[in-house]
Amino acid sequence: MVAVVRRARDHAWLPVLPAAVSWVFLFGYQWLFSLSYKGHQHTVFSYYSGILGDGLLIPAVNVAGFVLLRQLARGVPWKRLPLYVLLGLATTLTAFLVQANLDLVNWSMPLPFRWSGVGEFHFLVMWAEFAYLYLVLSTAVNNWSQLRRDIAGWWCFWSGLLGLALFAATLAADYIH
């Protein structure tokens, strides 16, 4: 037990890495770009899903996923990573096509089916994010009985799902608004 506590304490900083990477690639680049943006479209600061979702919720979900993967390290299905990358691509393409078909324009897509540099980068980030989330979810499902016995992993699984539900609520609030 002492060794487990010592190991957790010695590596407590590690979840900061996915939080920082997530924040930079989901929100930070948009924030920096907004400083020089001279266009007339809404920026990331006009959306709950941009500020709360990309800035806080998804980085928190990524930390929960990171901890879950660490807890279930032996059961991560790395051989299926190409499948999760393809699923991430399909999900991202679907999201972008739905956005274009519904005429939901903003600074990432100023005209339907025309993406700006921010939009193209966001596409790549979403693709990576979805692939990562598919990896985390499949790890949880494939190791369900072990996950249920792991307090930290179990907490991370449910807090990650809660974070995704809250993110979905911010998207709904954006489109209702």
Read off the pLDDT of residues 44-80 as tens digits, 9 standing for 90 and up: 888 999 999 999 999 999 999 999 999 999 999 999 9
Is the pLDDT assigned to residue 139 strictly greater than 50?
A: yes
Query: Rounded to an integer, what distance in angstroms lies between the CA atom of residue 129 and that of residue 54?
Result: 11
Structure pTM? 0.88
Is the pLDDT assigned to residue 86 strictly greater than 70?
A: yes
Is the pLDDT assigned to residue 10 strictly greater than 70?
A: no
- The pLDDT value given to residue 2: 46
